[in-house]
Amino acid sequence: MGLDMTAFVMEIEETFGISIPDKDYQDLDTVGALSDYVARQYRVAEPDDVWQTVRRITSEHFNIPPAEIKPTSRWGEDLQIY
């Protein structure tokens, strides 16, 4: 995981008040998988609210228009984030 992704994960953790172990994060290959993981594992908010927040943070952090970020968007292949 590159420095940009590390900072992104830290922002997600801080926003939701959670900690995502590296071993878990490595399996979250799409934006939707990350959102589902946060919603399911931590129950910090309703799943749709988690999705909206994860998409917003992804958009702001990586300067990607929100409309281009889908639950099925893969970090590397679709969003060019490594």
Check pLDDT > 70 for residue 51. yes
Whole-structure pTM value: 0.92
Asked whether the beta carbons of 58 and 46 are under 8 A apart, the reply is no
What percent of the chain is modeled with pLDDT above 70? 99
From the list 74, 66, 63, the residue with the least C-alpha distance to 33 is 74
pLDDT at site 1: 59
From the list 36, 37, 29, the residue with the least C-alpha distance to 5 is 29
pLDDT at site 44: 78
pLDDT at site 82: 79
16-40 pLDDT, tens digit per residue, is 999 999 999 989 999 999 999 999 9
